[in-house]
Amino acid sequence: MATSPEAQAAVPRAVVEGLVVEVPPTGPVVEVPPTGPVVTDVPGWEGPDGEGPDGEAPVEQEARSRVAAVATAITARDRRPGSRVLGVSGTRRPYPPHLWRYVDRVPPTARPVVLDVDTGVDDACALLLAATHPALQLRAVTCVGGNAPVDDVVRNTLTVLEAAGRSDVPVARGAERPLLEHPTDARHVHGEDGMGDLGWPAPTLRPEPRHAVELLRDTCMAAADAGEQVTLVPTAPLTNIALLLRTYPATARGIAEIVFMGGAAQSGNATASAEFNVFHDPEAAAIALDAAADLAIPVTMYGLDVFYDPVVAAAEADELVAVGGRGAAELAGRLIQFQCERFGRDAATIGDAGAVCAVLDPGGLTTQVLPIRVELAGRWSRGRTIVDRRDWSGDLSHDPHGEPPVRVRVALGVAHERYSALWRDTILSAGATR
């Protein structure tokens, strides 16, 4: 039954979260864009007066059972031979107009990713998304000193993966210090333990014996040998990545692209000029970008120009915490609550998780491919990513610096509500999984 826009605006809406149908190799179940959720009407919930078809109030419990029933029916109807339902998790909060369903298109083979992290409250947010989204295969996680000393980073990373029920993901310890700089940390932002001082139980998981650079090498080479490529998502100082690309350039065969959190076209955070990850190890950032250009690996910079925009409200964090069970959702909510309390705000950024969103939903970014240099010398500007936004069609023959040899795809804008919803909805769907 079609509904007019006016009527749609007046009737209740619920959201089916996590209704994920795997698309068989022979073709999609529904025609959807390759990124982001698609929404279609669910028949049978189109009462005119803020009520369902049978006159009942749109209370959550009622909507939840209706949604589950409708979702099951639709899933059965749309299913093609070989497809598989990955999860149906229910509804979310009050329902403005109409009942919808979300069907994520999951490629037959989910995209392989590797995260390089300095966990880190917001690295934890990134790990939770990468560990729970069905369109990603998290193949490995490598650790580097940054927000906290590397041993704390390893422990925090294992804690997150254990909460997400991902004991299958190998984790390795990497560089404990920058290439030249003295190691520092950001405990004033991330807490004494580097991950919000939540009092969360210590993990039972252990890192593996390989060094992070070896795990990165082996994962990329294994992908290449299998005819695949992984997407590298560094959300930390680029020390491990610089060492990888210079030591084992052949790994480029197994790398589809690098989507890194770091840098800024505008202003910094560690200093007025420089963003923390690049400031912490500027030489590594310069080497990683240079090596990627040499090896023709495409690079996207998810920097401070977009980093703070996707946020989750404190009230939504409470909802995540209420799931309980010390799983992905509770941990995610506690991380957001920590940031809200520490900075006295009623919402907090998902931070590094935005870089994972950029892998899942690249269309949510506004980008420009721009020349870039890392400032390695400046007294007040060391660690700055100098993004050249001049019009290169002009006469720059008098610029003594010339055009930088490196160009990256720089994120200058983000569909922040879309990314916030992607993060929150994915993790709510994962619920209390441990």
Site for Ca ion in 380-409 (CB under 5 A): none
CB of 257 to ligand BDR, least distance (A): 18
- CA separation for the pair 183, 280 (Å, rounded): 8
Count of residues that bind ligand BDR according to CB under 6 A: 14
Cβ atoms of 378 and 273 closer than 8 Å: yes
CB of 387 to Ca ion, least distance (A): 20
Output DSSP code: residue 253. G
Q: Does 154 bind ligand BDR (CB under 6 A)?
A: no
Q: Does 186 bind ligand BDR (CB under 6 A)?
A: yes
With CB under 6 A as the contact rule, the residue among 123, 309, 330, 361 that binds ligand BDR is 123
Of residues 46 and 275, the one with the C-beta less far from ligand BDR: 275
Phi and psi at residue 408, in whole multiples of 5°?
-130, 160
Residues 6+ apart with CB under 8 A from 401: 373
With CB under 6 A as the contact rule, the residue among 7, 39, 189, 224 that binds ligand BDR is 189
With CB under 6 A as the contact rule, the residue among 104, 116, 122, 330 that binds ligand BDR is 122
Cβ atoms of 107 and 33 closer than 8 Å: no
Of residues 22 and 122, the one with the C-beta less far from Ca ion: 122
CA nearest neighbour of 118 among 327, 334, 276:
276
CB of 391 to Ca ion, least distance (A): 33
Q: Which residue has 């992905």 as its token pair?
A: 328
CB of 381 to ligand BDR, least distance (A): 16
Neighbours of 181 (CB within 10 A): 17
Residues 280-319 vs ligand BDR: string with x where CB under 6 A? ----------------------------------------
Site for Ca ion in 325-364 (CB under 5 A): 352
With CB under 5 A as the contact rule, the residue among 106, 236, 255, 406 that binds Ca ion is 236
Q: Does 123 bind Ca ion (CB under 5 A)?
A: yes
Locate 361 and state its tokens: 């939903």
CB of 261 to ligand BDR, least distance (A): 5
DSSP string over 26-54 = T--SS---SSS-EEEE-TT---SSSS-TT
CB of 340 to Ca ion, least distance (A): 19
Cβ atoms of 101 and 19 closer than 8 Å: yes
Q: Checking DSSP bridges between strand 111-117 and strand 230-234, what pairing results, if any?
A: parallel
CB of 121 to ligand BDR, least distance (A): 7
Q: Does 265 bind ligand BDR (CB under 6 A)?
A: no
Locate 189 and state its tokens: 């932002």
Locate 323 and state its tokens: 């799931």
Residues 330-369 vs ligand BDR: string with x where CB under 6 A? ---------------------xx-----------------
Using the contact rule CB under 5 A, the part of the chain among 34-42, 117-125, 167-175, 326-334 near Ca ion is 117-125
- H or E segment to which residue 67 belongs: helix 60-78
Amino acid at 402: G
Q: Using only C-alpha atoms, what is the Rg of the chain?
A: 22
Residues 256-295 vs Ca ion: string with x where CB under 5 A? ----------------------------------------
* CA-to-CA separations, 36 to 20, 39, 120, 419, 423, in angstroms, rounded: 12, 10, 27, 9, 11
With CB under 5 A as the contact rule, the residue among 83, 219, 235, 337 that binds Ca ion is 235
Q: Is 199 exposed, middle or buried (0-12, 13-18, 19+ CB in 10 A)?
A: exposed
Neighbours of 170 (CB within 10 A): 17
Q: Does 303 bind Ca ion (CB under 5 A)?
A: no
Q: Does 120 bind Ca ion (CB under 5 A)?
A: yes
Cβ atoms of 330 and 316 closer than 8 Å: no
Using the contact rule CB under 5 A, the part of the chain among 35-43, 233-241, 375-383, 421-429 near Ca ion is 233-241
Q: Which residues bind ligand BDR (CB under 6 A)?
A: 120, 122-123, 147, 186, 189, 235, 261, 269, 275-277, 351-352
Q: Which residues bind Ca ion (CB under 5 A)?
A: 118, 120, 123, 235-236, 352
